[in-house]
Amino acid sequence: MNEGRDLAKTHINPCIKYTLFVLNFLLWVFSIGLIIIGVWALIERQNTNHIQIWAVIESQNSTHIKSNQQDIFTGSSIVLIVTGSVSFILGFTGFLGALRENCCLLLFFLLFMFLIIILEGSAGTLAFDYSRAFYLTVDEIVERSIAQYRTDLDLTNFIDFAQRTLECCGGDGGYKDWSLNRYFDCTEENPSREKCGVPYSCCMKTEDANGDPNIINTQCGLFTREQYLVPAKVSNEIHTAGCVDKFLVYLSQKSYIVGPTALSVAAVQLLVMLLALRLHQQIKLECSRYHKCKKRGINNFA
């Protein structure tokens, strides 16, 4: 009877078990949301591209530009889907392993979490060691996006939003990078009305002539680079700083948010790993006690 009463006292702590269950269930639900958003964005992107291809007949060079722009937006959707899929597997094994007290699932969860932390640490180290390569990669992406401006509404709105928010213009080369775009190029054979200009989002002031901030003067950047070839004069009309530098400055200014956020995420990951490890140990102890009692012929769990 004493052994039977001992068996009623389990080694498994319900607080650890259900805390781990809730955290991983929330991660699982969040991952489903990421997958849905990624798939939806990918489908919408494909539909938009098909409409553009049938609506506009362009040269082979223009078709190449479209394929590049598709890579930029499709890549973001794929990143969401992949991230959601990994989180789905991680959250599912975590909450199911905790709920069913399954050592195999918890061990898989622990190894998966450990691998993710190693990859995160490696990515941070590489980003620090190869900061110049990261800078050049970002600048290349910005320049490609500038070349695709006006070919896609989503991309156009995103660039305008970034330039107005960061108060910048162009990439590493500043406002001069807009020569990469066929609409703003200064070559003599360019028939565009926006020739030798910049988008309105580069302007220091975008309100209309009457000063109404609710009405945007979308033509404030016309012929800017043609009329003001001296940088000192250009700076009175448009932002001359490149968006890559402004973006890095913005990140450094927001480091008080980025740093604690990264530390908080790391702390949660370590907490979940410790909970999973402790629950795994408790399940092992419970299984060991069960087998010992079974060998002794004790079957009374009441």
Q: For residue 67, is pLDDT > 90?
A: no
- The pLDDT, as a whole number, for residue 212 is 66
Q: What is the mean pLDDT of residues 57-69?
A: 42
What is the rounded distance in angstroms from the CA atom of residue 42 to the CA atom of residue 80? 10
117/63: higher pLDDT: 117
Whether the per-residue pLDDT at 111 is higher than 90: the answer is: yes
* Residue-averaged pLDDT of the chain: 81
Average pLDDT, integer, range 246-262: 82
Q: How is 36-83 classified by DSSP, letter by letter?
A: HHHHHHHHHHHHHHHHHHHH----HHHHHHHHHHHHHHHHHHHHHHHH
Asked if 235 contacts 205 with a C-beta cutoff of 8 angstroms, the reply is no
- Spatial distance between the Cα atoms of 21 and 272, rounded to a whole number of angstroms: 10
Region of poorest pLDDT, from 81-90, 191-200, 224-233, 244-253: 224-233
Residue 230, SS3 per DSSP: coil
Per residue in 146-162, pLDDT (tens digit) is 998 988 788 888 999 99
Which has the higher per-residue pLDDT, 278 or 290?
Answer: 278
pLDDT at 107: 95
Task: Give the span between the Cα atoms of 160 and 168, in whole angstroms.
Answer: 10
- CATH number for the segment(s) 135-250: 1.10.1450.10
Label residue 30 by pLDDT band (50, 70, 90).
Answer: very high
> What confidence score (pLDDT) does residue 213 get?
67
Which among 292, 298, 286 is positioned nearest to 11, based on CA atoms?
A: 286
- Distance (Å, rounded) from C-alpha 65 to C-alpha 143? 12
Question: What does the domain layout of the chain look like in residue ranges?
Answer: 2-129+252-295, 135-250
Confidence band, pLDDT 50/70/90 cuts, at residue 76: confident
Q: Round to whole Å and give the CA distance between 6 and 22.
A: 29
Nearest to 86 by CA among 49, 32, 21, 43: 32
Q: Evaluate if residue 300 carries a pLDDT over 60.
A: no
Please give the Cα distance from 296 to 177 (Å, whole number): 81
Q: Which of 138-142, 201-205, 208-212 has the lowest mean pLDDT?
A: 208-212
Evaluated on CA atoms 148, 154, 160, 164, the torsion sign reads negative
